[in-house]
Amino acid sequence: MKNLIWLSIVALVSFGCVSGNVSDNKAAASAELPLPAGCKTPDGMVLGADGDIYLSINQSSDGFKNKAKIVKITRDDRFEDVITLSVLKESGVASPMGLAFDSAGNLYVADNQMFGGHAGKSRILRVKFENGKAVSCGAVVENLSVANGLAYANGKLYLTDCMVDFPSNPVKSIVYVFDVSKLDESNPVKISGRSDPHVFDRLTTHFKHDWQQVGADGIAADGDGNIYVANFGEASVSKYELSPSGKILKKSVLFKGGPLKSCDGLRFDRDGNLWIADFAGNAVGMYDFKTGKVSVVKKSPIPSDGSAGTLNAPADIALRGGRLYISNMNVNMSPHKASPVHSMTVVDLR
C-alpha cells in the first residue's frame, strides 16, 4: 500500500492571450492535437515572444525510455524540437515540468527529479538561445525537493516546490524566489531547506485523500507583478501583493474549492482573467476578478482518453489567438487512467 500511495504522489506532481470572456456551460469546439511519436507526459507550457508555445515533454509515463525535452507548438500547430535537456548525473534523466521565460529570452525549466527517484535533487535549468535556436542548457538552482511551477516577474523567478519534509499531513510546500541576474550555471544556487534565504512563502495542505497530497503547484504573475499560487490539494489560489522590492505586503485567498477539485497550472489572459487547470476534476476553470467567481469552461468525464478533444489529466494551459491549449498529462493515477493517446486538447474560444 505504501508503494501505491507513493506512486500516486509521484503521478500527481504535474502544471497567451484571448479576447473575450467565456461563461460557464458555454459550448466551445474542442479538438485533439496529437503529440509527435516518442513524446509522452506533456506538462508545463509558456507562450514565447515569437508567438510559439513552448511545452515540456516529461517522458516519465513510460519510464523515460525517450529523453525528456522541450518542444514548441508553432502558430500553425506544428511541433518542433527545441532542446533535449541535460540530465542529472545521479538519476540519468531530466524530468521537466513548469516553464518560464525571463525578459532576456532565457527559458527556465523546473526539473522535478522525484519522477527520476531523486527527490531532493530537483533543479531549475536555464536554456539560452542565439538567433532563435537553443544553444545551451545548465542548472542554475539545485537541491530542490519536488520542483514544479515557474513564473517570472520584474527580474525575479518564482518556483513552487510542492512537497518538502514528506510524507506528512498536512503536506508542507515552499515557494522560492530568485534574482535572475544572480543565477549562474558555473555556480548554481544550492537550496538548504525551509530556512533558505530564497524562501518566498511556506504553505500547508491538509488532505483526506491520497490524490490531494500536493501543495504549492501552479504559479503565475499578473501585469502589475502580483504573484498567484495554486494550492493543489486544497483547490485554492492565493494572491500576493508585493512591495517594489518584492516583499509580501498582503496575501489573500481568491477562492477555495467551488466547482474545482484541484488547482494545477495557472495562466492569465489579456483581459485579466485567471485560468486554472483542474487535474483531479478533469477540467479547466476560469476566475473572473469582476465577479469573484470560478466558472468551468471545459470538462470531460472520468475516465477519458484524451482523444477527440477530451481531457485526460490536464496539467497546464496556454492561450493564443483565441484558443486554449491544454496539456493532457495522461498518467495512471486515480481518478485517471493512462491511455495510448498522447495529446493536447485545443478549445476554440472565439
Give the dihedral sign, CA 195/198/203/204.
negative
Question: Is residue 9 very low, low, confident or very high in pLDDT (cuts 50, 70, 90)?
Answer: very low
The b-or-e profile of 2-19 (16+ CB within 10 A means b, else e) is: eeeeeebbbbbbbbbebe
pLDDT for res 47: 98
Look at the alpha carbons of 232, 235, 241, 247 in this order and tell me if their dihedral is positive or negative: negative
Q: What is the pLDDT of residues 270-284, one digit of tens each?
A: 999 999 999 999 999
Would the CA dihedral through 37, 43, 234, 143 be positive or negative? positive
Domain residue ranges of the chain, discontinuous segments joined by +: 2-19+37-270
The set of residues, in sequence order, having a beta carbon less than 8 Å from that of 32 and lying 6+ positions away, is: 306, 307, 308, 309, 310, 341, 343, 344, 345, 346
For residues 291-316, give the mean pLDDT. 96
Sole residue written with cell 536554456: 127
Asked if residue 25 has pLDDT above 90, the reply is no
Reply yes or no on whether the pLDDT at 221 is more than 50: yes
**Whether pLDDT at 10 is above 60:** no
Q: What is the pLDDT of residue 281?
A: 96
Q: Before 197, cis peptide (omega within 30)?
A: no
**Does 17 have pLDDT greater than 70?**
no
- Using alpha carbons, list the distances in angstroms from residue 202 to 22, 48, 193, 267, 347: 33, 30, 11, 22, 35
Residue 55, helix vs strand vs coil: strand
CA–CA separation, 63 vs 92, rounded Å? 12
The confidence score (pLDDT) of residue 157 equals: 98
Q: In CATH, which superfamily holds the domain spanning 2-19+37-270?
A: TolB, C-terminal domain (2.120.10.30)
Q: What secondary structure letter does DSSP report for 168?
A: -
Percent of the chain with pLDDT over 90: 85
Cβ neighbours of residue 11 closer than 8 Å, sequence gap 6 or more: 331, 332, 333
Q: Work out the mean pLDDT of the chain and round it to a whole number.
A: 91
Q: Per the confidence metrics, is the pTM higher than 0.95?
A: no
Q: Which of 86, 97, 171 is nearest to 134 (CA)?
A: 86
Q: pLDDT value at position 20? A: 36
Q: Determine the residue type at 301.
A: P
Cell of 251: 496575501
14 falls in which pLDDT band (50, 70, 90)? very low
Residues 113 and 95: their CA atoms lie apart, in Å, by 6
- pLDDT for position 27: 52
Other CB atoms within 10 A of residue 289 CB? 13
- What is the per-residue pLDDT across 320-350, written as a single tens digit (0 to 9) for each? 999 999 999 998 876 888 999 999 999 999 8
- The partner residues of 136 in beta bridges, in order of sequence, read 128
Q: Is the pLDDT of residue 232 over 60?
A: yes
The DSSP 8-state label assigned to residue 190 in this structure reads E
